[in-house]
C-alpha cells in the first residue's frame, strides 16, 4: 500500500506544481490544496500503514496490543490539516481581495510593486 | 530684541564655544608635552582598559616616540587650525556643526596614533574616515563637495576594509592583537606563509588613506572642503594616517624585498607623477594639494628602507611638511578670503595689502623650497643623505627626490610670489589684511619652521630620535645639523634649487605643454572612478532586474526547480534508486479510494469551470479521508472530511464571482511547466519510496503507546499526543488559525472601506 501511496503522492505533487505555475491565482490556490494534501499523505505513508487498528488503548490494558497504527504521524497530520486549512482560507481571502482591487486574477498583470523595466518588452 | 542684538548674542555665544573647542587641542598638547620626558626615559608608556577581553580587544593606548610625535602634530596643528577656523568661518550658520565634526576628527586621529591594539586602531581609523567625509562635504549644498566627500569616503573605506582583513590576519599570525606584542614578533610574521597577503592588505589600506598612486585622485578633489579642513586633514593628520601606519608596522613587516620594492616604487611614482600634475594647476589650493601628494610619495619611498638615516629623513620631513603645508594652506585661505580668488592668473601685488600674510607665506615657502636656515633645508639635506644611504636603489630614490623637490621649489615660489609680487590687478585694490585669528596660525607655524631650523637639536633629541628608535626597534642616535660641509647632499641641494628656479621661470610654457599632453591622455583616474561607479550601479540594476523580475511564475519555477534538483541530488548521492517494487496487494475498496483521489486530482487540472474544479478537489479530499479511515486513522479521516466540507462551502460562496480563464500561453510553455512539475513529482515519489525501504523503528511510537495511559490517563493515543504531550504545539496551531481568520476578515470585511478609498482615489486622479 505504501508503494501505491508514494506514486499517488508523486502524481498529486506534480499536478499541484503544474497548477501553481499557471498565472491564474485560483488555479494557484487549487495547486496549493493538492500540495498540502499530498504532504499529509506522504507523512502518513512514511509512518507505515496498518490496516484498521486505530491507536487506542483498550479498557483494562496499560498499552495497546500490537499491531497498532502509528499514532505520531496521525497527530502530526491532524495539526497539518488544521493549519493547512488556515493557510488556504487566508490565501482564498487574498485571492478574492486581489480580484476586488485589481479586477483580474492574472498574476502576470500584478506588477504594482515590481513594475516591468522600461527596456523590457511587454 | 533687534536683529543686531540677536547677532551680537550669537557672536558672543560663538566666542564661548570657540574657546571651549580650543581648550581641547590645547589640553591635549600640554598633556602630550608632559609625556615627552617619561617616554624618552622609559621608551613606551601604556594605559587603557579592557574592552572585549574574550576577543583580545582592549581600549589600550601605547605612547612611544612615534605615536607621541604624530599625536603632538595632531594636537599642535589642531590648535592653529581651531584658531584659524574661528576667523575663517566667522558668522557661519553651521559653525557648531563644523566644530563638532572637527573635534570628532581630532578624537579619531588621536586615538588612531595612540592606539595600542590592532582592533582599537582600526576603529579609530574608521572614525577619521567618517569624520573626514563629514568635513569634506561640509559645504553640503554644493554637488562638487558632496561628490568629493563620497569619493574620499569610498576610497578610504574600501582601503579600510582591506586593512581590517589584514590586521585580523596579522593578529592571528602574531597570536595577539596587542600592538606591543605584535611589534615584538616581526620575525614570526615575516616567516609566516600569510606574510604576503597581510602585507598587501595592510598596505592597500595605508595607500588609500595616504593617497598613493593609483588611489591618489580623491585627495585633490577633497579640496572642496573649507580651507581650515584642508589645512588640517591634508597637511598634518588624515593623509598622514597611512604614513603613520606604515611607520608603526615597520618593525613587523619591513626588511623584506616585497616591502622595500613596493614602497620605493609606489612612493617614487606618486612623488614624480604628483609633482608633474602640481605644475599644471592654476588654482593655488590645488597646487598645494598635489604637493601634498608629492610629500606623501616621498615619505612612503623613504619608509621602504630600513636604513636609519632614511627613516630619520622621513620622520623629519613629516614635521617639516606639517609646519609649512598647514601654514601655506592657511595663507592660500587668507588670500581667497580677502581677495576672493585663488587663481594664479587673477592675483598679484598683494604684498603691500597683506603684509603679515606675506611674511608668513615667505617663511613657509622658503622652508618648503628647502632654503637655509629653515627646517625644510635640514629635512631636504637629510632626505638626500638618506637616499644615498639606501643600499639597493640610491640612484632611483635620489633621482625621484631631486625631481620632486625641484618641482616643490617651483610650486613654493609660485604660491609665495605669484599672489604677492608683481603688478596688482585692478580688482584687488580693495583687498585688506585679514584679522589676527587668520594670520596668527600661519605666522606661528612658519616661525616654528625657522626656530627649529636654527636650533634643530630641540627636535632631534625630543621627537625625531625617539620616533626613529620606535620605528626601527633599535636605539638610534639622530643628529640634525644645518651645516654639513660641502658634500653630495649639498651639491644635490644646489642642483634642486637651480632646477626649481628654471621650472618656475618657464612654468607658463611647461604648463601649456603639459595641458596639451594631458589632452592626448585618454583617461584619468578620476574619470575611471566615475566609470566604475556607473558600472556598479548598472550592474546592481541588472542583477536586481534579473533576480527580482516581479513575475510570480518565475519565482515559483526557481523554487520548484531547486526542490527537484536538491531532492534528486540527495537521492543520487545516497545510494540510488529504490529496488524491488512489488505490485501492491490491495482490496477493492482501497483501490477505489486511490482511484477517487487520482480522478479528482486529474479532473482538477483539466476542467475549465471553477465549480467543477472545486468539486473534483472535494472528491479527492473524500478519497484521502477514506484512505485515512481504511488504515487505522479514524480521527484524521473525520477531521479531513470536516475541513474539506468547510473549505468547499467557503469556496463555493465566493467562487461564482471569480474567473478561471486560462492565461493565454503557448504549448511550449505548457510543456516546460509539465516537465518541471513531473520532475518534482518523480523526485518526491522516489524520496518516499527510498524512505519506505529503510527499516522502521520508532522509539517515539513506543514511548507514546506506553505512556498514554499511565502518564496522561487517556486511551486515545492521538488525542493524548495532541492535547497533552504536544499541547503547546496545538496551542500554536490554534493561534495560527486565529491569525489567519483575523487576516482573512481584515481582507474581506473592509469592502465598504475599499470601495470608498477607491472612489476617493478616482476623485483625486481623474
Task: Establish, for the pair of chains A and B, how many residue pairs have beta carbons separated by less than 8 Å.
Answer: 285
How much is the pLDDT for B166? Answer: 95
Q: B478-481: long-range contacts (C-beta < 8 A, 24 or more apart)?
A: B478/B308, B478/B312, B480/B316, B480/B378, B480/B382, B480/B456, B481/B378, B481/B456
What would the pLDDT profile of B614-672 be if each residue is shown by its tens digit?
Answer: 888 889 999 999 999 988 888 899 999 999 888 888 887 777 667 666 555 567 778 88
- Which 3 state secondary structure label does DSSP give B46? strand
How much is the pLDDT for B662? Answer: 53
The Cα B388–Cα B401 span in angstroms is 11
- Count of Cβ atoms closer than 10 Å to residue B49 Cβ: 8
* B613–A110 C-beta distance less than 8 A: no
d(CA A31, nearest CA chain B) in Å: 9
How much is the pLDDT for B590? Answer: 87
Does B430 have pLDDT greater than 60?
yes
How much is the pLDDT for B597? Answer: 92
Over residues B130-138, mean pLDDT: 91
Element at B44 (helix H, strand E)? strand B44-52
pLDDT tens series, chain A, 122 aa:
778 888 999 999 999 999 998 878 888 888 999 999 999 999 999 888 877 688 888 887 777 777 788 888 899 999 999 999 999 989 988 888 888 888 888 887 777 777 776 554 44
Q: What are phi and psi of B289, to 5 degrees?
A: -60, -40
* B730–A50 C-beta distance less than 8 A: no
Question: For residue B672, what is its C-alpha cell?
Answer: 516546460
Are B602 and A15 contacting, i.e. CB atoms less than 8 angstroms apart?
Answer: yes
Distances (CA, A) of B324 to B33, B286, B339, B373, B501: 21, 16, 22, 14, 19
pLDDT category, B696, cuts 50, 70, 90? confident
- Which 3 state secondary structure label does DSSP give B713? coil
Is A118 part of a structural domain of the chain? no
Distances (CA, A) of A1 to A47, B68, B378, B528: 12, 84, 98, 69
Smallest CA-to-CA distance from B278 within B228, B362, B196, B344 is with B344
Per CB-CB distance under 8 Å, the chain B contacts of A45 are: 688, 692
Q: What is the ipTM of this complex?
A: 0.92
d(CA B526, nearest CA chain A) in Å: 30
Judged by a CB distance cut-off of 8 A, whether residue B557 touches chain A is yes
* A75–B721 C-beta distance less than 8 A: yes
Give just the sign of the alpha carbon dihedral B712, B715, B718, B723.
negative
pLDDT category, B750, cuts 50, 70, 90? low
d(CA B531, nearest CA chain A) in Å: 22
Residue among A14, A21, A52 whose CB faces B556 most closely:
A21
Smallest CA-to-CA distance from B687 within A14, A12, A10, A16 is with A10
Helix-, strand-, coil-residue percentages of chain B, each rounded to 5: 80, 5, 20
Question: For residue B492, what is its C-alpha cell?
Answer: 644635490
Question: For residue B272, what is its C-alpha cell?
Answer: 614624480
How much is the pLDDT for A103? Answer: 80
Give B300-332 as a DSSP string: HHHHT---HHHHHHHHHHHHHHHHHHHHHHHHH
Are A21 and B676 contacting, i.e. CB atoms less than 8 angstroms apart?
Answer: yes
Can you give the C-alpha Rg of chain A in angstroms? 21
Question: What pTM does this model have?
Answer: 0.73
Judged by a CB distance cut-off of 8 A, whether residue B704 touches chain A is yes
Smallest CA-to-CA distance from B302 within B347, B270, B335 is with B270
Question: For residue B611, what is its C-alpha cell?
Answer: 465549480
d(CA A107, nearest CA chain B) in Å: 6
Residue among A21, A26, A54 whose CB faces B660 most closely:
A26
Per CB-CB distance under 8 Å, the chain A contacts of B730 are: 79
A-facing residues of B in 707-736 (CB < 8 A) are 708-710, 715-718, 721-722, 726, 729-730, 733, 736
Is A122 part of a structural domain of the chain? no
pLDDT category, B276, cuts 50, 70, 90? confident
d(CA A77, nearest CA chain B) in Å: 7
Q: What are phi and psi of B661, to 5 degrees?
A: -65, 140
- The pLDDT > 70 percentage for chain B reads 93
Is A121 part of a structural domain of the chain? no
State the total domains in chain A.
Answer: 1
**Minimal-distance CA residue of chain B relative to A26:** B660
* A74–B598 C-beta distance less than 8 A: no
Question: For residue A29, what is its C-alpha cell?
Answer: 490556490
Mean pLDDT for chain B?
A: 85
The Cα B111–Cα B131 span in angstroms is 13
Residue A40, domain extent? 2-51+70-108
What would the pLDDT profile of B502-561 be if each residue is shown by its tens digit?
Answer: 888 887 788 888 777 777 766 677 788 888 889 999 999 888 888 888 788 888 999 999
Is A115 part of a structural domain of the chain? no
What would the pLDDT profile of B314-364 be if each residue is shown by its tens digit?
Answer: 999 998 899 999 999 999 999 888 888 888 888 888 888 888 889 999 999
Give B597-618 as a DSSP string: HHHHHHHHHH--SHHHHHHHHH
Over residues B227-243, mean pLDDT: 87
Contacting residues for B344 by C-beta, under 8 A, at least 6 apart: B282, B283, B284, B287, B414, B418, B419
Per CB-CB distance under 8 Å, the chain B contacts of A111 are: 550
Per CB-CB distance under 8 Å, the chain A contacts of B701 are: 70-72
* A106–B708 C-beta distance less than 8 A: no
The Cα B485–Cα A86 span in angstroms is 96
List the single range of B165-179, B555-569, B749-763 with lowest mean pLDDT: B749-763
Judged by a CB distance cut-off of 8 A, whether residue B630 touches chain A is yes
How much is the pLDDT for B2? Answer: 40
Per CB-CB distance under 8 Å, the chain A contacts of B745 are: 93
- Which 3 state secondary structure label does DSSP give B47? strand
A-facing residues of B in 583-612 (CB < 8 A) are 584, 586, 590, 594, 597-598, 601-602, 604-605, 610
Pick the more confident residue, B1 or B392: B392
Peptide bond connecting B199 to the previous residue in cis, omega within 30 degrees of 0 = no
Neighbouring-strand partners of residue B64: B44
* B729–A34 C-beta distance less than 8 A: no
Per CB-CB distance under 8 Å, the chain B contacts of A47 are: 698
Are B469 and B461 contacting, i.e. CB atoms less than 8 angstroms apart?
Answer: no
Helices B195-209 & B257-280, crossing angle to 10 degrees?
20
The Cα B93–Cα B335 span in angstroms is 22
A-facing residues of B in 73-112 (CB < 8 A) are none
d(CA B632, nearest CA chain A) in Å: 4
Question: For residue B205, what is its C-alpha cell?
Answer: 589600506
Is A12 part of a structural domain of the chain? yes
Contacting residues for A76 by C-beta, under 8 A, at least 6 apart: A43
The Cα A118–Cα A109 span in angstroms is 16
A-facing residues of B in 661-700 (CB < 8 A) are 661-663, 665, 673-674, 676-678, 680-682, 684-686, 688-689, 691-692, 696, 698, 700
How much is the pLDDT for B12? Answer: 66
* B640–A18 C-beta distance less than 8 A: no
* B647–A85 C-beta distance less than 8 A: yes
How much is the pLDDT for B580? Answer: 67
Are B557 and A21 contacting, i.e. CB atoms less than 8 angstroms apart?
Answer: yes
Element at B63 (helix H, strand E)? strand B57-64
Residue among A50, A81, A108 whose CB faces B639 most closely:
A81
* A79–B681 C-beta distance less than 8 A: no
- The pLDDT > 90 percentage for chain B reads 26
Over residues B747-765, mean pLDDT: 58
d(CA B527, nearest CA chain A) in Å: 27
Per CB-CB distance under 8 Å, the chain A contacts of B739 are: 86
CA A37-A41-A44 angle, 5° bins:
140
d(CA A46, nearest CA chain B) in Å: 6
* A58–B715 C-beta distance less than 8 A: yes
CATH number reported for the structural domain that contains residue A45 in this entry: 1.10.287.3510
Residue among A10, A90, A107 whose CB faces B684 most closely:
A10
* B741–A86 C-beta distance less than 8 A: yes
pLDDT category, B6, cuts 50, 70, 90? very low
Strands B57-64 and B44-52: antiparallel
Are B620 and B596 contacting, i.e. CB atoms less than 8 angstroms apart?
Answer: yes
Question: For residue B754, what is its C-alpha cell?
Answer: 475599499
The Cα B192–Cα B185 span in angstroms is 11
d(CA B680, nearest CA chain A) in Å: 6
**Minimal-distance CA residue of chain A relative to B758:** A101
Element at B48 (helix H, strand E)? strand B44-52
Distances (CA, A) of B572 to B369, B563, B580: 77, 14, 17
Residue among B590, B650, B678 whose CB faces A1 most closely:
B590
How much is the pLDDT for B10? Answer: 54
How much is the pLDDT for B738? Answer: 93
What would the pLDDT profile of B363-405 be if each residue is shown by its tens digit?
Answer: 999 888 888 888 888 888 888 888 888 767 778 888 888 888 8
* B737–A83 C-beta distance less than 8 A: yes
Per CB-CB distance under 8 Å, the chain B contacts of A89 are: 647, 650, 740-741, 744
What would the pLDDT profile of B565-616 be if each residue is shown by its tens digit?
Answer: 998 888 888 766 666 667 777 888 888 999 999 999 998 888 777 788 888 8
Amino acid at each position: 500500500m505504501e508503494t501505491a501511496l508514494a506514486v499517488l503522492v508523486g502524481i498529486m505533487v506534480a499536478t499541484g506544481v503544474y497548477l501553481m505555475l499557471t498565472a491564474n491565482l485560483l488555479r494557484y490556490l487549487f495547486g496549493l490544496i493538492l500540495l498540502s494534501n499530498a504532504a499529509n499523505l506522504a507523512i502518513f505513508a512514511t509512518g507505515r500503514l496498518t490496516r484498521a487498528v486505530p491507536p487506542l488503548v483498550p479498557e483494562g490494558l496499560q498499552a495497546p496490543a500490537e499491531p497498532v497504527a502509528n499514532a505520531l504521524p496521525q497527530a502530526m497530520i491532524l495539526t497539518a490539516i488544521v493549519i493547512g486549512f488556515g493557510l488556504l482560507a487566508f490565501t482564498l481571502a487574498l485571492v478574492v481581495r486581489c480580484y476586488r482591487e485589481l479586477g483580474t486574477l492574472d498574476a502576470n498583470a500584478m506588477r504594482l510593486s515590481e513594475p516591468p523595466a522600461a527596456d523590457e518588452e511587454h | 530684541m533687534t536683529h543686531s542684538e540677536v547677532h551680537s548674542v550669537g557672536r558672543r555665544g560663538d566666542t564661548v564655544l570657540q574657546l571651549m573647542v580650543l581648550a581641547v587641542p590645547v589640553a591635549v598638547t600640554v598633556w602630550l608635552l608632559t609625556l615627552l620626558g617619561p617616554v624618552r626615559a622609559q621608551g613606551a608608556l601604556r594605559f587603557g582598559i579592557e574592552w572585549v577581553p574574550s576577543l583580545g580587544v582592549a581600549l589600550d593606548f601605547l605612547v612611544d616616540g612615534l605615536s607621541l610625535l604624530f599625536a603632538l602634530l595632531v594636537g599642535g596643528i589642531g590648535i592653529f587650525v581651531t584658531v584659524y577656523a574661528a576667523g575663517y568661518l566667522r558668522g557661519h550658520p553651521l559653525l557648531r556643526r563644523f566644530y563638532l565634526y572637527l573635534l570628532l576628527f581630532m578624537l579619531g586621529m588621536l586615538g588612531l596614533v595612540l592606539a595600542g591594539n590592532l582592533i582599537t586602531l582600526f576603529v579609530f581609523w574608521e572614525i577619521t574616515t567618517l569624520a573626514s567625509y563629514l568635513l569634506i562635504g561640509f559645504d553640503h549644498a554644493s554637488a562638487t563637495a558632496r561628490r568629493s566627500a563620497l569619493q574620499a569616503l569610498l576610497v578610504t573605506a574600501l582601503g579600510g576594509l582591506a586593512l581590517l582583513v589584514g590586521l585580523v590576519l596579522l593578529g592571528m599570525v602574531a597570536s595577539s592583537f596587542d600592538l606591543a606584542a605584535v611589534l615584538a614578533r616581526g620575525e614570526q610574521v615575516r616567516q609566516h606563509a600569510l606574510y604576503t597577503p597581510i602585507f598587501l592588505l595592510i598596505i592597500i589600506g595605508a595607500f588609500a588613506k595616504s593617497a598613493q598612486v593609483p588611489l591618489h585622485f580623491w585627495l585633490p578633489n577633497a579640496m572642496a572642503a573649507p580651507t581650515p579642513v584642508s589645512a588640517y586633514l591634508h597637511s598634518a593628520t588624515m593623509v598622514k594616517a597611512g604614513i603613520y601606519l606604515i611607520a608603526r608596522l615597520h618593525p613587523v613587516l619591513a626588511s623584506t624585498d616585497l616591502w622595500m620594492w613596493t614602497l620605493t616604487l609606489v612612493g617614487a611614482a606618486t612623488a614624480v607623477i604628483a609633482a608633474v600634475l602640481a605644475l599644471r594647476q592654476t588654482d593655488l589650493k590645488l597646487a598645494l594639494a598635489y604637493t601634498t601628494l608629492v610629500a606623501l610619495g616621498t615619505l612612503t619611498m623613504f619608509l621602504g628602507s630600513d636604513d636609519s638615516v632614511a627613516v630619520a629623513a622621513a620622520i623629519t620631513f613629516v614635521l617639516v611638511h606639517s609646519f609649512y603645508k598647514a601654514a601655506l594652506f592657511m595663507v592660500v585661505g587668507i588670500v581667497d578670503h580677502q581677495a576672493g580668488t585663488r587663481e594664479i592668473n587673477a592675483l598679484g601685488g598683494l604684498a603691500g595689502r597683506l603684509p603679515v600674510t606675506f611674511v608668513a607665506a615667505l617663511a613657509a615657502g622658503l622652508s618648503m623650497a628647502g632654503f637655509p636656515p629653515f627646517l625644510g633645508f635640514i629635512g631636504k639635506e637629510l632626505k638626500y643623505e638618506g637616499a644615498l644611504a639606501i643600499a639597493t636603489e640610491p640612484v632611483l630614490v635620489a633621482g625621484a627626490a631631486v625631481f620632486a623637490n625641484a618641482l616643490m621649489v617651483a610650486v613654493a615660489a609660485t604660491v609665495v610670489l605669484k599672489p604677492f609680487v608683481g603688478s596688482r590687478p585692478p580688482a584687488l585694490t580693495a583687498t585688506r589684511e585679514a584679522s589676527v585669528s587668520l594670520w596668527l596660525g600661519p605666522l606661528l607655524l612658519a616661525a616654528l619652521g625657522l626656530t627649529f631650523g636654527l636650533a634643530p637639536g630641540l627636535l632631534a633629541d625630543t621627537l625625531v630620535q625617539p620616533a626613529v628608535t620606535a620605528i626601527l626597534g633599535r636605539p638610534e642616535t639622530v643628529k640634525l645639523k644645518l651645516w654639513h660641509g660641502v658634500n653630495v647632499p649639498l651639491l644635490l641641494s644646489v642642483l634642486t634649487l637651480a632646477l626649481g628656479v628654471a621650472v618656475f621661470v618657464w612654468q607658463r610654457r611647461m604648463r601649456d605643454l603639459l595641458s596639451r599632453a594631458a589632452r592626448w591622455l585618454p583617461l584619468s583616474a578620476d574619470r575611471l572612478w566615475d566609470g566604475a561607479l556607473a558600472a556598479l550601479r548598472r550592474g546592481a540594476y541588472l542583477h536586481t532586474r534579473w533576480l527580482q523580475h516581479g513575475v510570480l511564475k518565475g519565482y515559483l519555477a526557481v523554487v520548484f526547480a531547486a526542490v527537484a534538483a536538491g531532492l534528486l541530488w540527495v537521492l543520487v548521492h545516497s545510494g540510488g534508486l529504490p529496488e524491488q517494487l512489488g505490485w501492491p496487494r490491495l482490496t477493492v475498496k482501497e483501490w477505489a479510494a486511490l482511484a477517487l483521489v487520482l480522478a479528482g486530482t486529474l479532473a482538477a487540472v483539466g476542467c475549465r469551470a471553477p465549480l467543477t474544479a472545486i468539486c473534483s478537489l472535494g472528491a479527492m479530499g473524500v478519497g484521502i479521508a477514506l484512505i485515512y479511515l481504511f488504515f487505522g486513522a479514524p480521527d484524521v479521516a473525520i477531521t479531513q472530511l470536516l475541513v474539506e466540507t468547510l473549505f468547499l462551502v467557503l469556496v463555493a460562496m465566493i467562487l461564482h464571482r471569480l474567473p478561471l480563464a486560462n492565461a493565454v500561453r503557448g504549448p511550449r510553455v505548457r510543456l516546460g511547466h509539465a516537465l518541471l512539475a513531473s520532475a518534482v513529482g518523480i523526485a518526491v515519489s522516489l524520496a518516499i519510496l527510498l524512505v519506505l525501504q529503510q527499516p522502521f523503528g520508532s522509539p517515539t511510537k513506543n514511548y507514546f503507546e506506553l505512556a498514554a495511559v499511565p502518564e496522561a490517563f487517556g486511551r486515545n493515543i492521538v488525542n493524548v499526543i495532541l492535547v497533552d504531550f504536544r499541547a503547546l504545539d496545538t496551542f500554536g496551531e490554534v493561534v495560527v488559525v486565529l491569525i489567519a481568520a483575523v487576516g482573512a476578515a481584515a481582507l474581506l470585511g473592509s469592502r465598504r472601506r475599499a470601495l470608498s478609498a477607491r472612489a476617493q482615489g478616482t476623485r483625486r486622479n481623474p
